[in-house]
Every structure is written in C-alpha cells, then in structure tokens.
Amino acid sequence: MPRRGVSCPTELMTYHMRVHDQDVADVLMCPNPHDYPNFDDFSFTPRKILHRELPCFVLKMFEELNFIEEFRIKKDILTRFILYVKKGYRDLPYHNWLHAFSVAHFAYLCLKNFQLVEKGYISKLEALAYLISCLCHDIDHRGTTNSFQQQSDSVLASLYSSEGSVMERHHLSQTICTLNTEGCNFLESLNRDDYIKCLDLIKDMILATDLAIHYRIHSKQSAMALDGYNKNNAEHRYFLCSLLMTCAIFQIKLRLAREQKGGNADLHGILHARRYGKGDGKGAGQYDG
C-alpha cells in the first residue's frame, strides 16, 4: 500500500489540468443552497443536478453522513480530492463523472436509509470506504472491458493482466495516485491502523466491481443470505461490502431505463451506445456494467 504524501506523476495527472486553489474555493464558498427535494430518496434522479454543482453535492454527502466530523477530515483537502477525481473521468457517454456521482449517491442512500452503520451491519470506516470506492470505481475508464484490454494487448493489460481485473486495478491505482497527489490526501487525519485498513477496504470494494469476482463469490453470498449475516464474521463483512458495490453499479441501468420510459431521447442514445458499443470506446460490444 502507498505511503502518505507520495508524489505520483501518472498519465492521468499529466493529461488533465491541475486543480487550482480558486477551484477549491469556488466549491467551498458556493452560494447555492444545494437543496433538491427528495435528494435522500431512492426515487431521486441525479441527472437533475446541474453538472457544475456535482462536486458540491459530493461534499454534502460526506457532511450529511458525518464523515467530516467523525474522521476530522479537512474540507479543503477533501474538495481538492473530489475535483481531481472529477477530472479523472473521461468524456464518455456512460463511464463519466455523472455515472460516478450516481453510483456514489446510491451508496449515500443505502447508508442513510438502511442505517447500515447504526444497525451494526458495517463499521463507520467501512462506510467511508464504500462512499469513496463508489466515487472512484471507474476513474479514467477507457470505455472497454477487461477482455477487450487483454485481446488488444493494451498497456493496461500488460500492467495488470497477470493479476486479473485489468480495468478495476487501473481504477484502484488512479484512486491511490489521486490520494497521493499534493493537497489531496484527506485521509491523513486517520491513525496509521485505520489508514491502512481504509486503503485495504477501498481495494477490496473497487475490485469487487469486476463481475468475474462477483460470480466467483456469488454462491457464498447466497449462502450467507440464507444462513444469516454475522457482523463478527470478517468474510461476511467482505461479502456484504462487495454486494453493496455490485448493487451500486447496477442500479444505474434501472435508473436509466426508468428515465428512458419518460421519453428522454438523450438517455435512449446512452443506452443504445452501451448496448451496441457505439461511442464509449473502441471495440463494438466490448462493454461492461
């Protein structure tokens, strides 16, 4: 696992413009109330939020879940991290910044409405890692699947194919690099044990978005559901967190389908691109969830 404060010059960081102090100040000093009706309901559609306000709402979710106070997070550092993550998402029809926000919003809804921490299903640290992982789970996505990366002998495949989960390991790598970018490590306030544990949780959760891993552990998750969840069982906690990640990424398709029924032509185009491999990268049909 990475050390704190390590400089990480990567393709991602050099490709995108830096986040400036004024960008951070604009979010922290934003005069808008950021108060949408039903924001805390599963019926809420994240697409209603103005794109420029999405970073403000990410900050709002961290505040509402009491993460900032609980973990003594510095808001300016968190905001810089959020803005770097935003820049880390490419301009794709599906795997974009709005997609990341929508997945993170679902995590927020689960934590808020199901009271997963209050009822002892997961710890506060696991909840923090869950929200971070959802926000970062597709950072620097190229619009193609793991199989396409491997078949095309891409640079990413050469880096990660021996371990499997090519794209997911890349997303994890970019997440850690973003944390290690100067002024972005909002987890620095954690004690050493919690810091290492949080990074391990983020690793497990982001890798869990690989469907190959989901299918590998699905039978054990089903057995857990039948036998009953034991919060003191470390394997059960891993299975639950993995399942929460799977739910978070797949609820997007349900939201898109629901909105499409409302006659949104733009959404129809997005769904068409996802189904037939047009516009979200190279390789028709080589797309994941």
Binding-site positions for Zn(2+) read 99, 137-138
**What is the longest distance spanned by two Cα atoms in the chain?**
53
How far is it, in rounded angstroms, from Cα 247 to Cα 253? Answer: 11
Catalytic residue among 16, 34, 51, 95: 95
> How big is the chain, counted in residues?
289
How far is it, in rounded angstroms, from Cα 160 to Cα 165? Answer: 7
How far is it, in rounded angstroms, from Cα 266 to Cα 281? Answer: 18
The C-alpha angle with vertex 149 and arms to 100 and 153, in degrees rounded to 5, equals 150
Residues annotated within the binding site are 99, 137-138
Q: What is the DSSP letter of 152?
A: T
Q: What would the two tokens of residue 162 be?
A: 């021996």
Check if 95 is active-site: yes
Q: Distance of alpha carbon 166 from its chain centroid, rounded?
A: 16
**Closest by CA position to 97, among listed 86, 105, 106, 108:** 86
Residues belonging to the active site: 95
